[in-house]
């Protein structure tokens, strides 16, 4: 047995483990199972690391053709197949065409077009769902056509897996991994190819946005090629966009180029960026035009993309602007609009990915390991073992925008589920989160139930069920536009909970009184028990305690100082009496 443990520690192969076990079948089987588990763990770790490397590699790519070649090469490498290829959707013709391949040797295959619904790839394109087969030529699930079968046969492909590329809610293409011999595709491999497709889709958006920006800048530059100052501005803005710069960098560059101050407003009039010696108060100047307009002492131009006004640039600090300078400002507005559009698309893509992951984990129907891998990609900086869940019911459109900075920093995932908005927070406790969300609930007009902490997986599913029951209880009690934990609802919270931590609940209700007794050696808890047993009569309570009624009243005044003036209100009083019964019945005070 010691030899087997040594070999396992040294990462020995299965053959050596079997030989070391000798005739001991139990030890051999156990060692091989441990070896297999270690190998699987290493494989998952290697795949996750490879995805991170792919993300970095794609993030640095700028050439559209190079991006697609990188995607198919990494797909072939990660899945370990003979061939990988990618088709793009042709909106004009309503089909997909081969755009990039790795490992292909057939010219006919490299020029293949797939109608929607035809073949495996056409079915993926039509349904937006992944499909895979160990033996495509004999698989009758797919609609075989002569052009497709001939091209696949010339390439010699047998096993094929395809997954869709979805960008901004629209179908873009299909990513494939295929083999020239029959082989099954595991769900882990399909999930890995899907993760790569998601990274590829986001990268395609980035590259297209950069290409559109460069094209817009090229068009503007060509129209004013003779203006040296405009050409320098063109290069400056292009460098900012292609290096991943944001609107702050564009505003700073514009202020420096023209020696002006600049303020960028969004479509609602909120400041997004400022640069230069900006006055203390700059009024929001609404503009619908993409041409620079003089308004008072300022110059204003709208930042518009795809017919939508995304904001406005306000320029000041210059008595007049030359024609060339005006064109530079208008060019900056075009670039700003494209950056704002791309930033919004990226945010929407991230929110959709979060919502999809949240729905998958709360439904409890997806593979837990795959969900964990997806969570690590989306929230790499958060721990996932103690998550607090908040369920927001009502018109929750403004909830995310109203989160305070501490809550925003601790937000792991958010998204709609079952008609509610669900928020997952890390590194916090339910009571603290409920207090921080109280103002959000009030201002947004939503009702928020907070439960947890719970670990990722089934415990989180149960915490969500408890939060859903709790928010329904809050609405029945008329506690709308509030945030609360089960303990905050007292007896009603206990009824709605599936698993009650009695000690925690008692301390939530009576903790200040219990701590006071412990620190001072008093018996306020006993006085409260006698007071309620006597029908809330200080005189009868004094008789049962064998003390003066004034002493009872003094102790009750101390309880008021600890619990607040409302502790004798009917609802609060009932909660206190239940907590006293639990405290006594379960011996929590002993």
CA gap 451, 433 in Å, rounded = 9
Higher pLDDT, 171 or 217: 171
Q: What is the pLDDT of residues 542-576, one digit of tens each?
A: 888 888 888 878 888 888 888 888 777 776 776 77
Residues with Cβ within 8 Å of 381's Cβ and at least 6 positions away in sequence, in order, are none
Q: Which of 134-148, 222-236, 260-274 has the highest mean pLDDT?
A: 134-148
pLDDT digits (tens, 9 = 90+) for 33-71: 655 555 544 555 444 455 445 555 555 555 556 778 888
Report the pLDDT averaged over residues 582-586. 64
Give me Rg for the CA atoms of the chain.
33
Q: Note the pLDDT tens digit of each residue in 365-402.
A: 777 777 777 777 767 666 777 888 989 999 888 887 78
Amino acid 295: pLDDT = 76
In this structure, how many other beta carbons lie within 10 angstroms of the beta carbon of residue 276?
Answer: 18
Model confidence at 345, pLDDT cuts 50, 70, 90, reads: low
What average pLDDT does the segment 437-447 reach?
89
What DSSP assignment string belongs to 305-342?
ETTEEEEEEEEES-S---HHHHHHHHHHHHHHHHHHHH
Closest-CA residue to 472 (of 458, 460, 454, 484): 484
Contact 471, 391 (CB under 8 A): yes
Composition of the chain by helix, strand, coil, percent to 5:
55, 15, 25
The CA distance from 249 to 576, in Å, is: 58
Query: For the stretch 328-341, what's the b/e string if a residue is b when 16 or more beta carbons lie within 10 angstroms of its beta carbon?
Result: bbbbbbbbbbbbbb
As given in the structure block, the two tokens for residue 150 are 């001939």
SS3 177: strand
Q: Do the domains at 61-202 and 224-346 have one common CATH topology?
A: yes
Q: Would you say residue 439 has pLDDT above 80?
A: yes
At 262-301, the pLDDT tens digits run 887 777 677 777 887 777 766 666 666 667 777 777 878 7
Closest CA to 446 of 497, 400, 492, 498: 400
How far is Cα 278 from Cα 389, in angstroms, rounded to an integer? 42
Nearest-5° Cα angle at 116, 112 to 122: 65
Alpha helices, DSSP H, located in 128-177: 146-155
Asked if the 379-496 domain carries CATH number 3.30.70.270, the reply is yes
DSSP strand pairing (83-90 vs 170-179): antiparallel
Q: What are phi and psi of 261, to 5 degrees?
A: -100, 155
Q: Indicate the Cα dihedral angle 154, 158, 161, 166, nearest 10°.
A: 20
The percentage of the chain sitting over the pLDDT mark of 70, rounded to a whole number, equals: 72
What value, to the nearest 5°, has the Cα angle with vertex 60 and ends 56 and 62?
145
pLDDT of residue 209: 66
* Per-residue confidence (pLDDT) for residue 83, from 0 to 100: 96
- Where is pLDDT greater, at 471 or 334? 471
The domain made up of 61-202 has a fold known as: Beta-Lactamase (3.30.450)
pLDDT at 497 over 70: no
| Range 320-341 average pLDDT | 77
Rounded mean pLDDT, 453-477? 85
Instruction: Identify the band that residue 159 occupies on the pLDDT scale cut at 50, 70 and 90.
Output: very high
Confidence at residue 117, expressed as pLDDT on a 0 to 100 scale: 92
**How is residue 251 written in tokens?**
């505003």
CA distances from 324 to 259, 317, 334, 406 (A): 14, 17, 15, 46
Q: Tell me, what DSSP letter sits at residue 104? A: -
pLDDT above 80 (res 432):
yes
Residue 176 has pLDDT above 80, yes or no: yes
Most confident of 248-252, 431-435, 488-492: 431-435
Q: pLDDT exceeding 90 applies to what percent of the chain?
A: 16
User: Domain 224-346, what fold?
Assistant: Beta-Lactamase (3.30.450)
Q: Distance from CA of residue 169 to its chain's centroid?
A: 16
**287, 302 contact by CB (below 8 A):** yes
Q: Are 471 and 449 in contact (CB under 8 A)?
A: yes
**What does the domain layout of the chain look like in residue ranges?**
2-58, 61-202, 224-346, 379-496, 502-585
The highest-confidence range among 296-305, 324-333, 380-389, 479-488, by mean pLDDT, is 479-488
| 222 vs 450, residue with greater confidence | 450
Residue 111 corresponds to which tokens in the numbers above? 């020029």
More confident: 425 or 270 = 425
Per residue in 85-131, pLDDT (tens digit) is 999 989 889 999 998 999 999 999 999 999 999 999 999 999 999 99
More confident residue, 491 or 337: 337
- 217 sits in which H/E element: helix 187-223
pLDDT for res 19: 60
CA distances from 64 to 162, 199, 245, 281 (A): 21, 14, 19, 44
Most confident of 81-95, 165-179, 471-485: 81-95
pLDDT band at 579 (very low <50, low <70, confident <90, very high): confident
């Amino acid at each position: 047995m010691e030899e087997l443990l040594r070999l396992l520690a040294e990462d020995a192969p299965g053959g050596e483990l079997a030989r070391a076990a000798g005739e001991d079948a139990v030890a051999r089987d156990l060692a091989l199972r441990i070896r297999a588990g270690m190998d699987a763990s290493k494989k998952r770790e290697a795949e996750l690391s490879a995805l991170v490397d792919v993300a970095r590699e794609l993030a640095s790519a700028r050439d559209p053709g190079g991006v697609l070649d990188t995607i198919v090469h990494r797909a072939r490498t990660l899945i370990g197949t003979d061939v990988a290829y990618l088709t793009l959707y042709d909106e004009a013709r309503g089909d997909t065409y081969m755009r990039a391949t790795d490992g292909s040797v057939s010219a006919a295959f490299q020029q293949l077009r797939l109608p929607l619904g035809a073949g495996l790839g056409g079915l993926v394109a039509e349904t937006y769902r992944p499909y895979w087969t160990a033996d495509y030529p004999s698989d009758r699930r797919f609609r075989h056509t002569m052009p497709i079968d001939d091209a696949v046969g010339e390439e010699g492909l047998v096993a094929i897996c395809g997954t869709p590329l979805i960008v901004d809610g629209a179908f873009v293409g299909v990513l494939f991994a295929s083999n020239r011999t029959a082989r099954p595709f595991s769900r882990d491999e399909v999930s890995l190819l899907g993760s790569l497709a998601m990274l590829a889709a986001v990268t395609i958006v980035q590259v297209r946005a950069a290409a559109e920006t460069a094209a817009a800048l090229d068009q503007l530059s060509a129209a004013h090629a003779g203006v040296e100052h405009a050409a320098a501005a063109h290069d400056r803005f292009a460098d900012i966009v292609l290096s991943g710069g944001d609107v702050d960098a564009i505003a700073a560059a514009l202020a420096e180029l023209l020696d002006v101050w600049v303020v960028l407003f969004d479509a609602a009039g909120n400041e997004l960026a400022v640069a230069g010696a900006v006055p203390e108060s700059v009024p929001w100047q609404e503009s619908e035009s993409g041409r620079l307009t003089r308004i008072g002492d300022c110059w204003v131009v709208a930042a518009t993309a795809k017919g939508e006004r995304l904001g406005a640039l306000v320029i000041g600090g210059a008595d007049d602007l030359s024609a060339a300078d005006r064109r530079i400002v208008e060019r900056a507005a075009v670039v700003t609009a494209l950056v704002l559009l791309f930033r919004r698309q990226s945010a929407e893509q991230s929110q959709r990915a979060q919502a999809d992951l949240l729905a998958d984990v709360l439904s409890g129907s997806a593979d837990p390991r795959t969900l964990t891998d997806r969570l690590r990609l989306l929230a790499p900086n958060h721990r996932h073992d103690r998550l607090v869940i908040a369920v927001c019911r009502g018109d929750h459109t403004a909830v995310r925008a109203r989160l305070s900075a501490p809550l925003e920093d601790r937000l792991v995932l958010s998204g709609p589920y079952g008609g509610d908005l669900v928020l997952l927070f890390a590194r916090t406790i339910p009571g603290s989160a409920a207090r921080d969300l109280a103002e959000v609930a009030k201002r947004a007009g939503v009702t928020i139930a907070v439960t947890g902490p719970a670990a990722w997986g089934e415990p989180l599913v149960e915490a969500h069920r408890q939060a859903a029951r709790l928010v329904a209880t809050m609405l029945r009690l008329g506690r709308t536009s509030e945030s609360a934990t089960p303990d905050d609802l007292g007896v009603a919270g206990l009824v709605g909970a599936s698993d009650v931590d009695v000690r925690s609940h008692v301390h939530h209700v009576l903790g200040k009184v219990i701590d006071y007794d412990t620190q001072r050696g008093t018996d306020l808890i006993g006085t409260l028990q006698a007071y309620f047993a006597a029908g809330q009569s200080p005189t009868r309570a004094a008789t049962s305690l064998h003390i003066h009624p004034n002493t009872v009243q003094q102790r009750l005044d101390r309880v008021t100082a600890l619990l607040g003036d409302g502790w004798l209100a009917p609802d609060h009083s009932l909660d206190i009496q239940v907590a006293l019964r639990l405290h006594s019945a379960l011996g929590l005070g002993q």
